[in-house]
Amino acid sequence: MQLLNAVMATRMLTELVGQSNGDEIPFGSFSWFAYAGISCFLVLFAGIMSGLTLGLMSLGLVDLEILQRSGTSTEKKQAAAILPVVQKQHQLLVTLLLCNAASMEALPIYLDKLFNQYVAIILSVTFVLAFGEVIPQSICTRYGLAVGANFVWLVRILMIICYPISYPIGKVLDCALGHNEALFRRAQLKALVSIHGLEAGKGGELTHDETTIISGALDLTEKTAEEAMTPIESTFSLDVNSKLDWEAMGKVLARGHSRVPVYSGNPKNIIGLLLVKSLLTVRPETETPGSI
């Protein structure tokens, strides 16, 4: 989009002026260096705006809140500096895009004074592509937090300058589109935990057991008691009259339960629970009754 704007602006300018060769500023003069300096400034300024647009707008409010609470000391300071600005999302977006568009539209005007129309188009496209888009966006994609914190003072100044335009447009966007959700929904949290579970065996922060526990806790509000219970037909239980001999003790230990239901007559007639750890003091050769 910025490339197209630069090319179109240059072509429109040359059509209005006619042949630009007659209006070129002599090379080496003070005006030539002044125009060249302004052109370089516009390219750098547009690159900063483009990078900040990608870097700041990609930082969610939740991400900044998390960094403020659990990040390193440097990350906490950077997140605290950026958060008040990012909270005005639409106003910030309009400000950055407005400044970026203004610098990109002004660049061909100054280049046309230095070179002929064809060279101006080539240089404008090259500068916009390399220094106005690719390089700044690549840097801000990787170091968006640090870059945003270092340039937050500039962003605040630009938001004040562009306030008469950016604030009304931002309010309209707020009313029309609303604000981004600040918190994760339950399904999003479950998906995030599941991703950590997949990375558990690859050196991730969370182990498989931890992700299983977290996922189970998130599912609690959606589960009923029926889903959490085991059918009585599938449970392992002991008759009250059975003897705690080697065979019975082996079955209890093989099941691995901490408590074993005890029934009388019918397996559905549960009359108590056998605490497995209490069997530590029971000797199988004595064949102690299960009722004990």
Task: Inform me whether the pLDDT recorded for 13 exceeds 50.
Answer: no
- Examine the domain organization and report whether 32 and 92 are in the same domain: yes
- Examine the domain organization and report whether 49 and 66 are in the same domain: yes
Residue 18: pLDDT band (50, 70, 90) is very low
Report the distance separating Cα 236 and Cα 250, nearest Å. 13
> What pLDDT digit, counting tens, does each position of 94-119 carry?
999 999 888 888 887 887 777 777 77
Report the distance separating Cα 112 and Cα 119, nearest Å. 8
**Structural domain boundaries, residue 250:** 230-289
Residue 259: beta bridge partners?
275
Give the residue from 160, 177, 194 where a domain finishes: 177
Amino acid in position 136: P
- So what's the pLDDT on residue 270? 83
What percent of the chain shows pLDDT beyond 90? 9
> What pLDDT digit, counting tens, does each position of 231-275 carry?
777 788 888 887 777 777 788 788 878 888 888 888 788 888 888
Contact 150, 52 (CB under 8 A): no
- Examine the domain organization and report whether 162 and 55 are in the same domain: yes
Q: Is residue 72 helix, strand or coil?
A: coil
* Position with higher pLDDT, 2 vs 103: 103
- So what's the pLDDT on residue 180? 62
Q: Is residue 271 helix, strand or coil?
A: strand
- Examine the domain organization and report whether 57 and 197 are in the same domain: no
- Examine the domain organization and report whether 206 and 172 are in the same domain: no
- Examine the domain organization and report whether 281 and 203 are in the same domain: no
- Examine the domain organization and report whether 100 and 196 are in the same domain: no
Residue 32: pLDDT band (50, 70, 90) is confident
- So what's the pLDDT on residue 10? 45
- Examine the domain organization and report whether 136 and 25 are in the same domain: yes
- Examine the domain organization and report whether 217 and 237 are in the same domain: no
- Examine the domain organization and report whether 201 and 119 are in the same domain: no
What percent of the chain shows pLDDT beyond 70? 81
- Examine the domain organization and report whether 49 and 162 are in the same domain: yes
- Examine the domain organization and report whether 171 and 257 are in the same domain: no
- So what's the pLDDT on residue 271? 85
Burial letters 193-225, b for 16+ CB under 10 A, else e: beebbeebeeeeebeeeebeebeeeeeeeeeee
DSSP symbol at 206: S
How many domains is the chain built from?
3
Amino acid in position 115: F
Q: What is the pTM of this model?
A: 0.60
Contact 58, 137 (CB under 8 A): no
Task: Find the CATH number of the domain harbouring 282.
Answer: 3.10.580.10
pLDDT mean across residues, the chain: 77
Closest alpha carbon to 2 in 132, 138, 120, 137:
132
Residue 157: pLDDT band (50, 70, 90) is very high
